[in-house]
Amino acid sequence: MVGFNTRAIHSVTLKEDVHHAIRQPIYSGVAFSFDSAEEQEEAFRGNRPSHMYSRISNPTVEEFENKLRSLEDGIGAIAVASGMAAISNVLITLLEAGDNIIASNALFGGTVSLLKNVLSPLGIEIRFVDLESLSATEAQIDERTRVIFFETIANPQMNVYDIARISQLAEKHHIVVVADSTVTTPYLFKAKSFGVNIVVHSTSKLISGGATSIGGAIVDMGNFDWTHIKKLAKYHRLKAWAFIAKLRKEVFRDLGACLSPHHAYLQSLGLETLSLRVDRSCQNTQQVADYLAGHPSVRQVNYPGLANSPYRSIAKAQFNDRFGSVLSFELADKANSFAFLNRLKIFKRATNLGDNTSLAVHPASTIFVDYSAEDRAAMKVSEGLIRLSVGIEDIEDILQDLEQAL
Ligand SMILES: *Cc1c(COP(=O)(O)O)cnc(C)c1O
């Protein structure tokens, strides 16, 4: 197999463009026609791969899906309208009333809300666990546990788990491991090598090429025996493809959160430069972390790349010798944090991450504003905590901006 960057650039398109365009055009239309009713019937019976209707599949979106599938070394990929659409499609496909899911206790706010406010009322039990403790995790598993869900590097505390060991535990109990690899992307995290079964991405972040568009993706690694999931019974005969088939033919098709062809085009373009941007932002982030760790006003820096981080060795082994482009650090209090944020000139005050531009946010008053003070304390989101997503600007300018703001 050719290398990561070659795969990110040379797509595996099914059909040659009629004009030999090097870049896949944007097919923004809704429907595709057939030469005969017979061909159309064959397509609808699933015996003839063709596009019919863009909510179900579309050539521009398919090119993006094929690239991502290849970069993840998976057997199937579905691009969706957002990262949240990716997570909800996966969980709705796997879980039914009476089942339970073990979820990391450090997750993206939207994911926590999906679990608590959308899935829990449907009769799915959510068991939040600190996945750093395998014994605590195993203690939560019973015969109705279907999924273990976590983020590869959780923010704002930047926790990293031993993913291979979580996968081993899950395999023993026939549980599906679903990893949200948004902050690591297939460039940093080879999910399949660590026993992950399903990867989800918010492609709005690093993959989009610089916060160009909202999108998401689901990739199946092809390494789970789906006969353990009764909800997929109708598709068990498709073996490794049972999960992707259920999604494509039912859940994804019927929930309707498809990726727009325009966004697929932007994100496919983003994939081509992914490794360059990620390398640069990881290098910049390491320098920012080292700088902040030596600054007298900074109480603590959370970044797995720091020499004293408890996560350094596991992160180094799991994430391609890099540590990501997000970090957090503690100032004295809210007033200090706000003063720092308001003085920033290059960093933008925004909740996003993985952009080309550097971003800063005060989690307690933004992402976590709806949580009680006790919940925030339990999640270690203090009033002095700042989260940075470091971009690809010149490092001298980034450090200079932090210096003057501190
Ligand atoms: C942003 C984000 C999401 C949600 O993605 P959207 O594209 O905004 O729906 C999910 N997980 C993580 C880790 C994220 O950073």
pLDDT digits (tens, 9 = 90+) for 151-168: 999 989 999 999 999 999
Average pLDDT over residues 136-149: 97
Distance (Å, whole) CA 303 – CA 158: 6
Which of 15-24, 206-215, 256-265, 383-392 is predicted with the least confidence, judged by mean pLDDT? 15-24
At residue 48, the pLDDT reads 87
338 pLDDT higher than 70? yes
Radius of gyration, CA atoms only, the chain:
22
24 pLDDT higher than 90? no
Across-strand partners of 297?
Answer: none
Q: Which residues contact 218 (CB under 8 A, 6 or more apart)?
A: 77, 78, 80, 86, 89, 90, 198, 199, 200, 247
Contact at 8 Å (CB) between 13 and 279?
Answer: no
Which pair of tokens denotes residue 346?
A: 């290059």
At residue 13, the pLDDT reads 67
Average pLDDT, the chain: 96
DSSP annotation of 31 reads: B
At residue 15, the pLDDT reads 75
At residue 23, the pLDDT reads 87
172 pLDDT higher than 90? yes
Q: How far is the CA of 237 from the centre of ligand 1 (A)?
A: 33
Average pLDDT over residues 324-351: 98
Contact at 8 Å (CB) between 303 and 155?
Answer: no
Q: Residue whose CA is closest, atom 8 of ligand 1? A: 83
Best residue among 108, 188, 203, 263 to mutate for probing ligand 1's pocket (most ligand atoms within 8 Å of CB) is 108
Q: How confident is the model at residue 14 (pLDDT cuts 50, 70, 90)?
A: low
pTM check: above 0.95? yes
Average pLDDT over residues 208-222: 97
Contact at 8 Å (CB) between 267 and 208?
Answer: yes
At residue 341, the pLDDT reads 98
Ligand 1 binding pocket, CB closer than 6 Å: 82-84, 108, 110-111, 151, 180, 182-183, 202, 204-205, 214, 216, 353
Q: E strand or H helix at 167, and its extent? A: helix 163-172
DSSP annotation of 192 reads: G
At residue 18, the pLDDT reads 86
Of ligand 1's listed atoms, the one at least distance from the Cα of 85 is 9
120 pLDDT higher than 90? yes
Closest CA to 49 of 62, 36, 37: 62
Q: How far is the CA of 205 from the centre of ligand 1 (A)?
A: 8
Which pair of tokens denotes residue 59?
A: 């050539």
Of ligand 1's listed atoms, the one at least distance from the Cα of 110 is 4
Distance (Å, whole) CA 375 – CA 228: 36
Q: Residue whose CA is closest, atom 4 of ligand 1? A: 83
10 pLDDT higher than 90? no
At residue 125, the pLDDT reads 98
Best residue among 84, 213, 266 to mutate for probing ligand 1's pocket (most ligand atoms within 8 Å of CB) is 84
Q: Which residues contact 340 (CB under 8 A, 6 or more apart)?
A: 331, 386, 405, 406
Contact at 8 Å (CB) between 60 and 27?
Answer: yes
11 pLDDT higher than 90? no
Q: How far is the CA of 386 from the centre of ligand 1 (A)?
A: 19
Q: How confident is the model at residue 323 (pLDDT cuts 50, 70, 90)?
A: very high
- Domains annotated for the chain, with CATH where assigned, are 4-271 (3.40.640.10), 275-405 (3.90.1150.10)
Alpha helices in 15-127, H assignment, sequence order: 37-44, 59-72, 83-94, 109-113
